[in-house]
Chain A
């Protein structure tokens, strides 16, 4: 059973089991937004299949006054509308959970330790709406009304959320409102709220936004002045470019001509998307693509070439479970090692690991600066949980700092220089000066090729030229460590360290609190935010006998990178693999950490 705590006022989790394509999303969003409007923090997790319609879908809403919005492994109130999943949905509930169940599914309600509210959904939907086609949709609003009564969700907040989501369309609002009212009044007559499960108005959500990570990422690119974006559709990254296009339409037009100052082009595959990024970056544009694991695999050759030819480019990877047709709508942190070393031969890439909405925005913005400053491909590793789930967040913060366009010589600068070499290192930081095609003055042209070159960009197969260039590239990336987003440490004087990254943050923070309550710990916690690792990461690992690395992959991919970079610290690292492919829950982290600690004790 779940290790997560039982329900309380302003601390509970709702599950809604439907089928995808049934139109439940608006209803679920109404519930989520109405709770937040009552001043109580809440988050939504949509667990959906790779399918257009008919397959099981779950939406989980967690309300948490204490701010724990990772997916809860415990469901306190379940809405059962799907015959296909009802047995399993009920079996997974903790004793005492409240179940709102379609009366047509009542035969499944066999567990005696659950509280049931059997609802005649079909009849209520018929009553709310004469149009048979709309009854299925309207049924969703009936459960919104019922939940409203059971949990004490404010009527005003509910109606205001409904109106906002339906964009003020009067007819639709009226139809849904009447269904919602019907559900609420039916519940008033037939159900009593459970003591200790419900909402009380708070004041913790004023001014907060609800956003998906892919939207925040797209906005980061918009504000970073991206001028070329090439892509190939792939779940769960497609909405990065959909949103990029939507915001470009509004905010990236030339005021005089009305034309776009951002080119977005859908390519024939991910290989060519990476190729466009290479060409545009080489020509001097801020260029990006967005993809997921299968696309990353295909982009390998271009990214490897980009590392060697020193071409800037931003690669957004919204990670999903692999491989290929596997579980494309499930989340994972499975591309950590691949992205860090993508390409054949020696290579190493800057990777940023955003852990929240502010970072999805800001790290994407920063990625363009880093790519141009270090003249290299830069990865932003988001995942399906960050990218496609709805997150409550502080508003996005305007990036005041000017763009860092890196070392570029224009015609005037070139005119003053006697002997420029594309791959020379005059500043001793490993970063050469580049020129852009089209620079006038007759100087600065150079030929770009892979490793067969000297520092003047001339063809060379000399060993010393190869090794010299390769070692300079390593020096260049070494310099990046000082400017990448530093890790964030939370120290409580613990004897054991826990290290995590990306979307795991919320679940890990909560898990460490839960473990402290059962007398384990305290743990010190480090959230890593970038690769290559800064010295602070090594210092943290070096300070504890044991450091648990929580990862949403089997092989301990970040731990492996740590072991490779800090081999003497390797014995201290123990990987905790969280493999349920769902947005990470504190329960899973607690189980993993408990098992690992107990194993340590018995050995």
Chain B
């Protein structure tokens, strides 16, 4: 197949990453996960900086790593572009020389490499910075140079390791919009590692969630955001996720079997008395453990069966005299419960 196909196990010290997935050409695959989940290990294995311990990696119809047959294409021989988190622009070379490095190392003549670099600098709007040293660039400019340097080698696979994490909030939005444009122009598969859910939602066509070296969820961003498979993903997208709700009985919904329940914090009603049973899907008592002021609302942390996050207005906090330790009743309508089978791959 064209594109990227991975079914491999990579060990780094006592940590083992075990993944199997494919990415077709033109797709931006967002790899989301907490620190230490194996995101960087995955990129290093794809780039040939770490060999796989078991399994194989196939790129554009070519086997580049196969522990079974001993095939291993070294990093320098792989058509892979890598944008590192800290960019790693060569400090002793100018911007143009940095971008020309790839074509030059892959055998292009001096003039040809310079022309290729010029083309990419134009395309990324960096022509005016060609003679600067990396030390004289802003973080946003350095990010674009790093992208240009990776693309100038015309790779078949593009890897981006937290490409926006070194930027401040202001530049991040600009660079993000620009990055999205360049990624959509890239013909091959692209892996974008991030731990920022918004970045993943905006930039990725499909998401792969890694936790503890395993894939715990895979799917379109909208689906991952609506039906998170793990507490980590649920926290990222700001949902309550209950794997198992005792006493939950919603007329017309089958809750037997291995299902997950997700609820928006705003859909949970908080009251001081037990609400009269109308069409409430779930009513339970809980104790307030914390309050955080978000923009125009207050997020309550609540301890109960199940524990929950609930959003209320500041007026409600005053009306109900909410403070840590306060006993309250929570209610959520059946129609606000997102109930779905537990995604496969997660135990």
- Tell me if chain B binds chain A: no
Residues of B within 8 A of A (CB): none
